[in-house]
Amino acid sequence: MLILSRNKGEKIVIGDQIVLTVLDVQGDQVRIGIEAPLEISVYREEIYKAIEQENKSAIQFDSKANDILSKFNK
């Protein structure tokens, strides 16, 4: 993990297409602006984990549905 210190208004550049800007710092909270191409998805971690869990559930459901359907198709 790379750890950087940045002040309000300073930026971090990732590759050629992603720029993070420190917009505001208040106590323990930091507001960050993210500039990235539309084809790159940007999520808060808790949202990303929820999406992952939903995808896993959908795969499990799909697998179970296929098992049930295969019994009827015999």
Residues 50 and 63 in one domain: yes
- pLDDT tops 80 at residue 3: yes
Q: Are residues 53 and 65 in the same domain?
A: yes
Which structural domain range is residue 2 located in? 1-40
**Residues 74 and 47 grouped into a single domain:** yes
Do 35 and 65 lie in a common domain?
no
Residue 36 and residue 2 share a domain: yes
> Would you say residue 69 has pLDDT above 70?
no
State residue 65's pLDDT score.
62
The reply to whether 32 and 59 lie within a common domain is no
Could you tell me what percent of the chain has a pLDDT over 90? Answer: 69
Q: What is the mean pLDDT of the chain?
A: 88
Are residues 34 and 47 both part of a single domain? no
Q: Are residues 4 and 26 in the same domain?
A: yes
Q: Which residues contact 22 (CB under 8 A, 6 or more apart)?
A: 6, 7, 8, 9, 10, 11, 30, 31, 32
